[in-house]
Amino acid sequence: METGLASFSDAELRELREAAQESRAWPFEEARKLIARYPGGFPEAGILFETGYGPSGLPHIGTFGEVVRTTMVRRAFELLCPGVPTRLVAFSDDMDGMRKVPPGLPRQEVLAAHLDRPLTAVPDPFGTHASFGAHNNARLMAFLDRFGFDYAFLSATECYRSGRFDTTLLAVLAHYDEVIEVVLPTLGPERRATYAPFLPLCPRTGRVLQVPILDRDVAAGTIAWKDPETGETRVTPVTGGHAKCQWKVDWAMRWVALGVDYEMAGKDLIDSVTLSSRIARILGGRPPEGFTYELFLDEAGGKISKTRGNGLTVEEWLAYAPPESLALYMFQQPRAAKKLHLGVIPRAMEDYERFCAAFATQPARERLGNPAFHVHGGRPPPPPPVSYAMLLNLVSGLGPVDHRVLASSIRRHAPGVDPDSDPRLARMLDNALAFHRDHVAPMLRRRAPDARERAAIAELDRWLCAHPDADAEAIQFEIYEIGKRHGFQPLRAWFQALYEVLLGTSEGPRMGSFIALFGIAETRSLIASALEAEPA
């Protein structure tokens, strides 16, 4: 999806970097937070960006949104600070205990027998990986690789067991009382009575236990707790993967242990970010810079829920449009709640094509505010030779067709355009065909023209018959003139009539361009069918 900065000349890059210092595009505003974070110079290791993943479920559209937005900030920082190393970590909380069996998975009874065990200790119900956590981690990496993201994967289980977190875990133990004082006021009375920042792994059952801590030994690095089933008091090291932190403490511990400089979070985690930031400071670290994004809504304005299934999946979006359009939708107004449903896809494609077309002639300052620049991390490609909206309208005019027929129609009427030699356009054809089949065709309702519309459309047909080689501009001009001669006021009522009568929709393309691409003979066939209909 990214194209990077390599296509820019040195002079262009200097101009872009100068403009980036004052750009108000949100990725640059976020990048400047990181510059302000290190007034005395950046650490040798550079800047670490992080995104988190809970592998109890599969990657979803929120996962894509967080990674693509974080990548946009990373690329903005790299433009501002060339030569400073950056890394993006995709961190999986795969040591969390499985609290409930996810619905819809095979072997439910096997999974139920492993409740409360770390996800990396739960058998893979699909039988393809060493554990359920490993299965979903693999799905995450395949998901991210599909979009070409540049990232490093980290597993919580591996970080805990390898000792990578040990120093910071001992700091949590040393500051146990201070950490507790931060967390307890946020809990209800019942939870407050049993809360502990550490969750020991039971050596007998392998389960991640939420039990009170009876004692702790800072020098030995251990905690004491009572086995809830046997009543036996056990002593467990907090290091080496024998225990893990409760998640808000875990988040802070991870920030400090890894040295995370930047992490986004949804609006629903504002309080958690505040709490974890306080804990990070207690541990002697510094919370990352952050960005709070709004959550998506369904078509009715309700909160999207995986349980209710009222959201839109990445797979659904990509069945109907390329990933660049989804990335652009994620770029636009990230702090505003937006509806996310299939109906937004054509507009997202229209916006993407418009921004790609505008980029070539924009000065540097405007280029940096162009969403297509951030989608591609640099210079975007030119827009496709046939727009997504035009493809949808071509399919509406042609009726039920397949890729071959649509591609043949385009080659016939658009000299020099061959979808089969342009992989991007070929994919768009398939996207448009699928979207039309599933979501446009069922809604199309062609109507018969009234008397005035019938006369105007008949005149258009006669003109097209007399001008079989007319180009788009000539056709568009004549359509305007016909509308004026037949007294359509406002003139858009004439175009709306053409859309409703010929295409079955109240909105449509620039008619001159549509007819030129669709074909004059084919358009006259549409008109003939319309004029045969009973008068409205």
**All structural domains of the chain with their residue ranges:** 10-166+248-297, 186-245, 314-442, 445-532
Packing angle, helices 26-37 and 61-80, rounded to 10: 60
Q: Are 175 and 282 in contact (CB under 8 A)?
A: yes
pLDDT value, residue 6: 87
pLDDT value, residue 193: 87
pLDDT value, residue 306: 59
Overall average pLDDT of the 39-62 stretch: 92
Split at pLDDT 50, 70, 90, the class of 536 is: low
Q: What is the pLDDT of residues 301-320, one digit of tens each?
A: 887 765 566 678 899 999 99
With a cut of 90, say whether residue 483 has pLDDT above it.
yes
Query: With respect to CATH, is domain 10-166+248-297 assigned 2.40.160.40?
Result: no
Could you give the CA distance from residue 288 to residue 274 in angstroms, rounded to a whole number?
A: 11
Split at pLDDT 50, 70, 90, the class of 198 is: very high
Could you give the CA distance from residue 9 to residue 12 in angstroms, rounded to a whole number?
A: 5
With a cut of 90, say whether residue 45 has pLDDT above it.
yes
pTM summary value? 0.91
For every residue of 295-341, DSSP letters joined together read PEE-TTSPBP-TTTT-S--HHHHHHHS-HHHHHHHHHS-TTS-EE-S
Q: Are 208 and 174 in contact (CB under 8 A)?
A: no
Exposure letters 343-376 (e unless 16+ CB within 10 A, then b): ebbbebbebbbebbeebeeeebbebbbbbbbbbb
Beta strands in 57-214 (DSSP E): 86-92, 152-155, 198-200
Q: Which CATH architecture has domain 445-532?
A: Orthogonal Bundle (1.10)
According to DSSP, residue 48 is labeled: E
Q: What is the pLDDT of residues 123-158, one digit of tens each?
A: 999 999 999 999 999 999 999 999 999 999 999 999
With a cut of 60, say whether residue 432 has pLDDT above it.
yes
Segment 494-501 long-range contacts (CB within 8 Å, at least 24 positions apart): 494/456, 497/449, 497/453, 497/456, 497/457, 498/457, 500/446, 500/447, 501/446, 501/447, 501/448, 501/449, 501/453, 501/457, 501/530
With a cut of 60, say whether residue 177 has pLDDT above it.
yes
Q: Are 433 and 492 in contact (CB under 8 A)?
A: no
Exposure letters 213-241 (e unless 16+ CB within 10 A, then b): beebeeeebbbebebeeeeeebebbbbeb
Beta strands in 165-269 (DSSP E): 198-200, 215-217, 222-226, 233-237, 243-245, 262-266
Could you give the CA distance from residue 75 to residue 84 in angstroms, rounded to a whole number?
A: 11
pLDDT value, residue 475: 97
Pick the more confident residue, 162 or 314. Answer: 162
Q: What is the pLDDT of residues 73-107, one digit of tens each?
A: 999 999 999 999 999 999 999 999 999 998 889 99
Q: Are 54 and 97 in contact (CB under 8 A)?
A: no
pLDDT value, residue 4: 82
Q: Are 125 and 106 in contact (CB under 8 A)?
A: yes
Q: Are strands 338-339 and 296-297 parallel, antiparallel or unpaired?
A: parallel
Q: What is the pLDDT of residues 435-453, one digit of tens each?
A: 999 999 998 889 999 999 9
For every residue of 394-436, DSSP letters joined together read HHHHH-S--HHHHHHHHHHHSTT--GGG-HHHHHHHHHHHHHI
